[in-house]
Amino acid sequence: MQQLKDYPLENPQILCGLPEGGEIMTTVNDNSTHLSTPRTASGISVRSLWKVFGKNEHRALEEPFRNMSRSEIQQKTGLVAALRDVSFDVNPGETFVVMGLSGSGKSTLVRCLINLIEATAGSIIVNGNDVTNFDSKQLRDFRRSEIAMVFQNFGLLPHKNVLDNAAYGLEIKGMDKEGRYHIAHEMLNKVGLNGWEHANQRELSGGMQQRVGLARALAMDPSILLMDEPFSGLDPLIRRQMRDELADLQAEIQKTVVFITHDLDEAISIGDRIAIMRDGEIIQVGSPKEIITEPVDEFVREFTQGISKTKVIDISECCSTPEVIFNATDDHDLVRSKMDDAMINYAVGLDSDNQYLGLVSRSTLEREASSSMIVSHLSDSNVTPVLPDTSLEHALSLITGHNLPIPVIDENDKFIGVVTHKSLLEVIAGNS
């Protein structure tokens, strides 16, 4: 049984009433108000973190044991090295996914970040302070103001409705009913539960219950959100919906999120970066694309084997310059002549600032030959411009059904290039 650090057992409200549910709350009679502006996200810097279970656990850090594998340490000392010399950084506002097989140490790691489990050695730096050195008061303040945690267990209080569950942390914090209900309503709306405020737990699906737990954590406005396999108990369809919704929500709230999972599809869907763990160590850290296309060893290669590379390779890999470009003043005859010379069936319109005007197909141009409408107003409706980080998988869905390329533009509509059927297939074939 893992020991929880600095939780007075005589005060169960310290854990919002449920030790395996929701975020960590630690104060009573705090009359502070919720900030209208969300808290700025904080980064996390972990250095040489060890967690060893057993008597005289520091022995595992001594020579020659510290350089042995987990199994060797256990065999020679009887100690279990759940975390072995773990170091990584989480950038402010990013979603950092930690994944690995059962027993790899990922859940122990996330609990060490909040000091639910006390690390044996190493440092966890947040806002310039080492969490592992906090005394009881500093730890309570940290859990109250900086960090929140959502577990796999939904952790709802069955005698309270949805609104009161979402507001419970603020109630324990001492906020008045009007203030906490206002914030809880706002957070429930963010997670898609507007209108369910007065429902009770038995009326909610698993996915809805997890949304309430997430709303309760967000109501505290933490700068860091820890999520320990929060969707693993849900049905596959609900799980996919929840991870998509979390990705959309994160784009809005920009918290620093550490997300634990054993599901690579889930990691790729929501993670800015992924850390792969094995036997208490981090084997590789990288973007989803780096993890899938550049595995550091056979373990990572096998771990990622079932994932299609089209999910992580973006469309910028197969961008090229179009052969025919027209400007806003070119007439129908001139654009058709350019197409004839290049023996191609489309042209891309750009203005003098390289702003994308549209893509015109030969068939559209010939159909409108007698029209007085200028060429740049004849963009083919089948063509949708995309951003350069669009996945090849999504690009395939866009390009199916017509023979025109996909224009690629940046967030300011500046033209980058086009992706043709041929270039798209060549990149897919080269990465299969």
Eight-class DSSP state of 93: T
Q: What is the mean pLDDT of residues 204-216?
A: 88
- Does 266 lie in the same domain as 185? yes
pLDDT of residue 431: 65
Residues 278 and 343 in one domain: no
- Say yes or no: 166 and 52 in one domain: yes
pLDDT band at 332 (very low <50, low <70, confident <90, very high): confident
Q: For residue 357, give the H/E element and its range.
A: strand 356-361
| Domain boundary residue, one of 307, 331, 348 | 307
pLDDT in tens, 360-408: 888 888 887 666 667 767 777 778 899 998 988 888 888 877 788 999 9
CB 290 within 8 A of CB 313: no
Reported as a single tens digit per residue, the pLDDT across 29-44 is 343 434 445 667 789 9
Q: Cα–Cα distance between 315 and 333 in angstroms, integer?
A: 32
Same domain for 339 and 201: no
- Whether 140 and 120 map to the same domain: the answer is yes
CB under 8 A, 24+ apart: contacts of 125-129: 125/44, 125/45, 125/46, 125/47, 126/42, 126/43, 126/44, 126/45, 126/224, 127/42
Q: Which residues pair with 276 in a beta bridge?
A: 99, 284
CA distance 75 to 91: 37
Least confident among 61-65, 104-108, 234-238, 346-350: 234-238
d(CA 215, CA 366): 55
Radius of gyration of the chain (CA): 27
User: If pLDDT is split at 50, 70 and 90, which confidence band does 414 have?
Assistant: very high
> Based on the domain organization, do 44 and 183 belong to the same domain?
yes
User: Is residue 288 domain-shared with residue 320, that is, in the same domain?
Assistant: no
Phi, psi of 240 (to 5 degrees): -65, -40
Range of the domain at 284: 12-307
Domain final position from 307, 328, 354: 307
Domain shared by 110 and 156, yes or no:
yes
Question: Which of the 8 DSSP states describes residue 121?
Answer: E
Q: Is residue 12 very low, low, confident or very high in pLDDT (cuts 50, 70, 90)? A: very low
E strands, 57-198, where?
80-90, 95-100, 121-126, 129-130, 147-150
Of 307, 329, 344, which marks where a domain is finished? Answer: 307
What is the tens place of the pLDDT at every residue in 255-291?
Answer: 999 999 988 888 988 999 999 999 999 999 999 999 9
Q: Is the pLDDT at 293 greater than 80, yes or no? A: yes
Task: Round the average pLDDT of the chain to a whole number and report it.
Answer: 84
Residue 3 lies in a domain: no
Distance CA 381, CA 135 (A): 63
Whether residues 31 and 163 share a domain: the answer is yes
As a dihedral over the C-alpha atoms of residue 240, residue 245, residue 251, residue 256, rounded to 10 degrees, the angle is: -80
Q: Is the dihedral of CA 294, 286, 259, 119 positive or negative?
A: positive
How much is the pLDDT for 161? 92
Count of domains forming the chain:
2
* pLDDT(17) > 80: no
Tell me if the bond preceding 64 is cis, omega within 30° of 0: yes
